[in-house]
Amino acid sequence: MGHKLTCFSNQTVKKMTKSKVTELEQKKEKIFFGGGLKAIEKQKAMGKLTARERIIALLDEDSFHEYDIFVEHDSHDFGMQNKELPGDGVIIGTGRICGNPIAVFAQDFTVAGGSLGHMHARKITKIMDYAQNMRIPLIGINDSGGARIQEGVNALAGYGEIFFRNTLASGVIPQISVILGPCAGGAVYSPALTDFVFVVDKISKMFITGPEVIKTVLGEEISQEDLGGARVHSEVAGNAHFFAESEEECFHQIRKLISMIPANNMVKATAEETAEPKRRYKIDKIVPLDPTIPYDVRDVIRSIADDSDFFEVMELFAANIVVGFGRIDGETVGFVANQPAVMAGVLDCDSSDKAARFIRYCDAFNIPIVTLEDLPGYLPGIDQEHSGVIRHGAKLLYAYSEATVPKITVIMRKAYGGGYIAMGSRHLRADFVFAWPQAEIAVMGPDGAANIIFRKEIMEAENPEEMRKIKIQEYKDKFANPYVAASKGYIDSVIAPDETRRFVAHALRVSKNKTVLRPQKKHGIPPF
């Protein structure tokens, strides 16, 4: 029996195609509304954009391409078989930021509170795998009530799959977490495993156990904002790297970051045309000669960075050290600088953690490190010792020693004791170490050193105070200067302050192709 051949006219084909396209658009439109108008209005009432609005606002215009739009949940317990969850509460896709390809996912709080179920997690892990395979940055916008209780262990398994991929991608592609709503329980571990966490005031919330659990277990009352709000994580806990007053400001920060870092660990950040620092930043007028007078080290950074542009990381946490990105000769560099305006720039537990993590990021992604040193040493005290300053301080030593990218250090004023060694010294294999003429490099400050070394002479003198002054000056002349270290080859050049940019730029140029061979090993064991 033969087959009957059906033929359609061109007009019929066009009508059928149009009908199918119309059907497609209708299906998409329904999904685009997420959890519905009421849920969207509630989202807006909280001062929050919807998931799609966030993606559109963040990415270059008309660059977003969405995938897995028609994915549905596969839960059949507790009445879930009767519920529709458009896209299963998460949007995934690819696009561009400042022309750079990126992968992105955004949880949709209007759909079941953005809760994570089996298919929700599969969508996220799919875009994570894509980002790693294609070697492009991954941005995750978190706005979720946590694991979907109705799906039980499947939801927990989903989180585990995400955490595993976060770890695999660490040091391979930039991973950025944006907290734009609640992020509780196991959900907070994924952001903690990523490179940079962005938060927005009064919108972002992160905690392992919420206020209700704390009240039940411990009897303590605290609000969500005071427990895990944006300021808490930016200023106190140190879990957030960038703080913004609005979602718009947050997206601007992300775009800035993407423009300054490389797409993956096999390439370098895109270079820009060099630009001289702004004239108002005069390095020799920023830093006082008196080592006891504070100043803002960020102005020193701006005096040597292209166009005086400095993008600070973790600005509100451990402010006694400053880290962030800038450019010199058009190339991205990472700045690490003691901040004399806060606690005299001493190192402590938090500042050591902050600097060490930033250094390891720069090293992983081929970003040279410029260190500006001016510190009296590590912060003494019972609290610091009991908080593990030995372990935390060792992280900084480990990070500098481990780093194989070009490392340039400038000693501006004080470099005392263990702090001198820890801040990118020659002994931790800095490639170039420069010092200003007023630099003091010693085991400790002249006052303390003189009191120990010349104790007997001071006590036996007719005028002990006058003798102390003489001995302090004697110590300064003999040890508290850069020339002793320079005579041993620990300092490459003693330079005038206004020569800093020129010397640093030259050092970066000649070390561009730096290659270091290290002992073969699976990995080191840093002092976590």
Q: For the residues 425-438, what does the mean pLDDT come to?
A: 97
Reported as a single tens digit per residue, the pLDDT across 341-350 is 999 999 999 9
Confidence label for 74 from pLDDT (cuts 50, 70 and 90): confident
Confidence label for 477 from pLDDT (cuts 50, 70 and 90): confident
* Residue of 365, 299, 363 lying closest to 337 (CA atoms): 299
Give the distance between the most distant pair of CA atoms in the chain.
128
Reported as a single tens digit per residue, the pLDDT across 206-256 is 999 889 989 999 999 999 999 999 999 999 999 999 999 999 999 999 999
Q: Going along 476-523, which residue ranges are E strands? A: 493-494
Three-class SS of residue 229? strand
Summary mean pLDDT of the chain? 93
Q: What is the pLDDT of residue 253?
A: 98
Three-class SS of residue 183? strand
Residue 77, both tokens: 């317990």
Q: For the residues 347-354, what does the mean pLDDT come to?
A: 98
Is residue 142 a contact partner of residue 177, using CB atoms and an 8 Å limit? yes
Which residue ranges does the chain devote to CATH 3.90.226.10? 16-260, 283-443+481-510
Residue 489, both tokens: 């080859």
* Residue of 426, 295, 428, 425 lying closest to 373 (CA atoms): 425
Backbone φ and ψ of 396, nearest 5°? -70, -45
Q: Is residue 59 predicted with pLDDT exceeding 90?
A: yes
Pairing mode of beta strands 321-328, 310-313: antiparallel
Q: Is residue 1 predicted with pLDDT exceeding 70?
A: no
DSSP of 41-85, one letter per residue? HHHHHTT---HHHHHHHHSPTT--EEE-TT------STTGGG---
* Residue of 503, 95, 508 lying closest to 326 (CA atoms): 508
Confidence label for 150 from pLDDT (cuts 50, 70 and 90): confident
- Element (DSSP H or E) covering residue 359: helix 349-364
Q: What is the pLDDT of residue 303?
A: 98
Fold of 16-260: 2-enoyl-CoA Hydratase; Chain A, domain 1 (3.90.226)
The class that CATH gives domain 283-443+481-510 is alpha beta
Helix boundaries (H) for 33-94: 37-45, 51-58
Burial profile 151-175: b = 16 or more Cβ within 10 angstroms, e = fewer:
beebbeebbebbeebbeebebebbb
Q: Is residue 6 predicted with pLDDT exceeding 60?
A: no
Residue 329, both tokens: 């000769």
Q: Is residue 448 predicted with pLDDT exceeding 80?
A: no
Q: Is residue 3 predicted with pLDDT exceeding 70?
A: no
Is residue 337 a contact partner of residue 301, using CB atoms and an 8 Å limit? yes
State how far Cα 99 lies from the chain centre: 21
DSSP of 126-162, one letter per residue? HHHHHHHHHT--EEEEE----B-GGGTHHHHHHHHHH
Backbone φ and ψ of 361, nearest 5°? -65, -50
Confidence label for 4 from pLDDT (cuts 50, 70 and 90): low
Reported as a single tens digit per residue, the pLDDT across 95-135 is 999 999 999 999 999 999 999 999 999 999 999 999 999 99
Confidence label for 8 from pLDDT (cuts 50, 70 and 90): low
Q: What angle separates helix 349-364 from helix 389-402, to the nearest 10 degrees?
A: 20
Q: Global pTM?
A: 0.93
**521 to 11, 290, 517: CA distances (angstroms):** 68, 47, 12
